[in-house]
Structure 1
Amino acid sequence: MNSFPESALYGINAVLEAIQSQQRACYKLVVDQEASRSRRLREIITLAQSQGIRIETLPSAHFDKQFRGVSHQGIVGFVAEKTVLSVAELIAKVYEKDERPTLGVLDSIQDPQNMGALIRSAAALNCQGLILPKRRSAPLNATVSKVSAGAIERIMIAEATNLSQCLTELKQQGFWIIGLDPRADSPCWNLDLKGPIAVVLGNEGKGIRPILKKDCDFLASIPMAASVESLNASAAGAAIFYEILRQKNERA
């Protein structure tokens, strides 16, 4: 498989979301000449041209050779890196949008497929931002963007050097810290999740690290059939973010 720069996005949804959201500069689109005749690609090209984005069209054989090994759907975009905030910046921005915000704190989610799916679920279920550790985390690369179906453009992301200190900072700013743990006694729907909430999610192998569990205000589980031991991080995240959204949407 060829090596592509981290700023390459491939596929219709990833490229379209980057252009529509205008959250980062898009420098150039490279388009498969034959695929460019499709309605969806023509719409993207027209939108890109209206923003002054350069379009490069390649014969199909050359395009496939240059981008061999990836699911590109006939279009690749070259964009600026995703803006990553500090934790303090993220907290300030989410409170500007909502007095009862929801955040996700991702502990050691290192698989890009899982990261992309989790970002997609978080954005769809009104989680305003995600906090990632600077180490032990999947890079925010083209694979993550592709799997997220472009949702990475719609959600704010911060990095923290020390997640334990990050949780302390969140508490000081009014967030309740909920750790998702399959062995926790309390189901997530038994907790009051209507206020500012930060959910800590670990990877499916080891879960949340013990040092972070100690920093959580509550641990919660997602009850499952006896034949299923656990969910992966993206599925667990979707379940807890849905429950938070459901509770916050209830009439007082």
Structure 2
Amino acid sequence: MARRPHRPSTGTAGRPRLWGRHAVIAALANPERTVRKLWGTREALQALNLPPVLPVTYADVADLGRLVPADAPHQGLVAEVEPLEDIWLGELLERGREDGRPLVVLDQVTDPHNLGAILRSAAAFDALGLVTQDRHAPPESGTVARAASGALETVPWVRVVNLARALEEIAEAGFWRVGLTGHASQTLAQAMGRQRLAIVLGAEGEGLRQNTEAHCDELARLPISAKVESLNVSNAAAIALYAAASRAATA
């Protein structure tokens, strides 16, 4: 059987390649993002207001398909970009000092589709930002950006070396850390309280690690039916963020 040809997800010097209308247009609109190259069909490029200094290459659908992983839905647009500048946790916590927006913390969530979907929910419910480990989370990529549907460019994403230490710093900034786990006795609504909220989620299957649970103020579960054992982590994040937004609306 013939082997499927390798399709790159990174470009020159390891720069991420983004694809799809929402991801590429959001990258072009982000003043913090440097776009190095842009490929597109004539139809897709004509709809964009592009800076004159940006190198643009017209390409057909087949050529674009060779720039991205196999079967990636590029929608006629591919961009090569520089990674975003790192954000420090202290900087993010300082930004949110005067508001009550929730923070999302992920414990070894490694699937890029899940991460992108969580970024999208974080944008939808106006979360303060996302915190992940640097070694146990996917890097910026076209897959993350596509699943995030533009939110990769708008939601601050902090990568930390030590998640337990980061959770301590988050507590010091006044956040109530609630870890979601199926074995908790109370529901999220019962655990949230009225303090600033940090929602802590673990990887699908493994869940939160013991040391991460130990660095949460409360453990909580979502009140799902017994017909379903658990939810995908991105679905759980969306529900938790909705609950946080609903709490804020009724405060």
Q: Same fold (TM over 0.5)?
A: yes
1:101 CA drift (Å) = 2.7
Structure 2 counterpart of 1:101: 101
Structure 1 residues without counterparts, runs of 5 or longer: none
Contact 2:187–2:222 (CA under 8 A) maintained in structure 1: yes
C-alpha distance in 2 between matches for 1:83 and 1:163: 20
Structure 2 residues without counterparts, runs of 5 or longer: 1-5
- Would you say how many aligned residue pairs link Structure 1 and Structure 2? 241
- The answer to whether structure 1 residue 9 and structure 2 residue 18 are counterparts is yes
1:60 CA drift (Å) = 4.2
- Secondary structure in structure 2 of the residue aligned to 1:185: coil
Structure 2 counterpart of 1:53: 54
- Secondary structure in structure 2 of the residue aligned to 1:191: helix
Describe the superposition over 1:196-248 as per-residue Cα deviations: whole angstroms up to 9, x where unpaired.
Answer: 21111001111000111111111111011111010111000001011001111
Note the aligned Cα RMSD (angstroms): 1.7
Matched-pair identity in %: 31
Contact 1:24–1:80 (CA under 8 A) maintained in structure 2: yes
Structure 2 counterpart of 1:62: 63
Structure 2 counterpart of 1:25: 34
- Secondary structure in structure 2 of the residue aligned to 1:76: strand
1:193 to 1:27, Cα distance in 2 relative to 1, 3 A: farther
1:168 CA drift (Å) = 0.8
Structure 2 counterpart of 1:222: 222
1:67 CA drift (Å) = 4.0
TM-score (norm 2): 0.90
Structure 1 counterpart of 2:174: 174
1:194 to 1:43, Cα distance in 2 relative to 1, 3 A: farther
Contact 2:177–2:199 (CA under 8 A) maintained in structure 1: yes
Describe the superposition over 1:66-117 as per-residue Cα deviations: whole angstroms up to 9, x where unpaired.
Answer: 446122111101111022212112211232xx42231111001011111111
TM-score (norm 1): 0.89
C-alpha distance in 1 between matches for 2:209 and 2:31: 36
C-alpha distance in 1 between matches for 2:76 and 2:150: 16
Contact 2:9–2:69 (CA under 8 A) maintained in structure 1: no
1:134-153 alignment to 2 at 5 Å? 134-153=134-153
- Secondary structure in structure 2 of the residue aligned to 1:176: strand
C-alpha distance in 2 between matches for 1:59 and 1:220: 50
C-alpha distance in 2 between matches for 1:21 and 1:249: 29
Letter in 2 for 1:23: E
**Which stretch shows the higher mean deviation, 15-24 or 222-231?**
15-24
